[in-house]
Amino acid sequence: MWVLVMFDIPVFEPDERKEAQGFRNFLQDNGFEMAQYSVYLKFCSSSSQVMTISRKIAVNLPKGGKVSILQFTDKQYEKIISFRGKYKNPSNQNPNQYDLF
């Protein structure tokens, strides 16, 4: 199971920029990897882990902006087609169960 967090947080004022950076740091501290600037991904081993991380995100939401949390299966993740420039990236692979960080 994969969790994708997308967000659009205002960064016009210095306190808004600080809050947005704090939210990015929160996601990285909780095992998310940046897919794009405001899009973060994390592999979860179960639906209960997805719910736990969703509750943590809800507690740490920034005051303004929009945050969306998507969840999808390993098969759906493998079918993502992505390009870098004009070149197609290799298909995504699921992490091994025994990988330790």
- Model pLDDT for residues 8-31, shown as the tens digit of each residue: 999 999 999 999 999 999 999 999
Q: Which of 21-25, 45-49, 90-94 has the highest mean pLDDT?
A: 21-25
Whether the Cβ atoms of residue 95 and residue 43 lie closer than 8 Å to each other = yes
* Least confident segment among 32-36, 39-43, 55-59, 79-83: 79-83
Domains located in the chain, CATH noted: 2-88 (3.30.70.240)
User: Distance between alpha carbon 9 and the CA centroid of its chain, in Å?
Assistant: 14
Closest CA to 4 of 76, 85, 88: 76
- Model pLDDT for residues 51-87, shown as the tens digit of each residue: 999 999 999 998 888 999 999 988 888 888 878 777 6
The residue whose two tokens read 């809800």 is 58
Task: Answer yes or no: pTM beyond 0.75.
Answer: yes
Closest CA to 5 of 74, 48, 64, 58: 58
pLDDT of 94 > 80? The answer is no
Segment 28-36 long-range contacts (CB within 8 Å, at least 24 positions apart)? 30/56, 31/101, 32/3, 32/5, 35/4
